């Protein structure tokens, strides 16, 4: 069976700067794959290229067997690949529920079932469903961003730094949620600065440096890799 996502020779440039340099990898359906690396390694640029928000300079991206390399972002979302961007990008002047409804623009017939799922996953959002999204705490806004993406019923969810700026207790909640999303059948491609936690919940990992993959393999093996440990994991928690 073909992989859900197949990336071959992906390159991204901003002017004369090559942010992503010939990445080749696959994401199998039903798992969690994480991209880790230092700031500027090309992780976010990779996600932006996959979701159609940045045009690749070279390479191909195939999703569910279809070439989406230069497809518009709208078509990519309709195909079932949805990104939660770094910084959340919620619509502050709208209520929580209005934000969620916006997430279902590709599937208006599924708004009710989507809301039920969102509120089951994040009960706090149901308590605040009439509250303006801009007045939520950082952790609540991250919950909303993830829930809004799930309203589109993605086959593959791209998460860019979901734990950034959150208190430790909320970080645990977000990682528990990612595992719950996977358990429900949604595949996840995760970019995360909290490398140790990301490796703990992922099945496979790719380590990026200067836009290139320098290590890849099962996450448990990379947790014990001395190069990865020294560069990204620091002291054992």
Cβ–Cβ < 8 Å for 96, 134: no
Give the Cβ contact number of residue 32 at 10 Å. Answer: 23
101 vs 226: CA distance, rounded Å: 46
In the chain, which ranges are continuous DSSP H helix? 43-50, 73-79, 96-103, 111-121, 123-127, 138-150, 168-183, 195-201, 219-223, 226-228
Per-residue pLDDT of the chain (237 residues; tens, 9 = 90+): 569 999 999 999 999 999 999 999 999 999 999 999 998 999 999 999 999 999 999 999 999 999 999 999 999 999 999 999 887 688 899 999 999 999 998 888 889 999 999 999 999 999 999 999 999 998 899 999 999 999 999 999 999 999 988 888 889 989 999 999 999 999 999 999 889 999 999 999 999 999 999 999 999 999 988 888 877 765 444
Q: What's the pTM value of the predicted model, to 2 decimals? A: 0.91
The 3-state DSSP class for residue 63 equals strand
Give the Cβ contact number of residue 160 at 10 Å. Answer: 23
Could you identify the residue written with the tokens 């949805």?
82
26 vs 30: CA distance, rounded Å: 13
Handedness of CA 124, 196, 187, 80 (dihedral sign): positive
65 vs 40: CA distance, rounded Å: 30
């Amino acid at each position: 069976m073909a992989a859900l996502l197949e990336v071959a020779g992906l390159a991204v440039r901003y002017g004369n700067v090559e942010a992503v340099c010939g990445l080749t990898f696959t994401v199998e359906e039903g798992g969690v794959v994480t991209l880790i690396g230092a700031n500027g390694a090309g992780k976010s640029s990779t996600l932006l290229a996959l979701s159609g928000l940045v045009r690749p300079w070279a390479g191909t991206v195939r999703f569910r067997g279809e070439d989406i390399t230069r497809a518009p972002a709208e078509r990519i979302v309709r195909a079932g690949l949805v990104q939660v961007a770094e910084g959340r990008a919620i619509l502050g002047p709208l209520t929580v529920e209005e934000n969620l409804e916006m997430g279902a623009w590709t599937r208006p017939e599924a708004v009710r079932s989507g809301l039920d799922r969102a509120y089951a996953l994040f009960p706090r959002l149901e308590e605040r469903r009439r509250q303006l999204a801009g007045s939520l705490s950082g952790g609540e806004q991250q919950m909303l961003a993830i829930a809004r993406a799930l309203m589109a019923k993605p086959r593959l969810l791209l998460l860019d730094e979901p734990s950034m700026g959150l208190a430790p207790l909320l970080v645990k909640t977000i990682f528990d949620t990612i595992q719950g999303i996977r358990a429900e059948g949604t595949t996840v491609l995760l970019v995360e600065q909290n490398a140790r936690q990301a490796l703990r919940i992922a099945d496979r990992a790719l380590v990026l440096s200067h836009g290139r993959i320098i290590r890849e393999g099962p996450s448990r093996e990379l947790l014990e890799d001395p190069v990865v440990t020294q560069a990204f994991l620091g002291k054992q928690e």
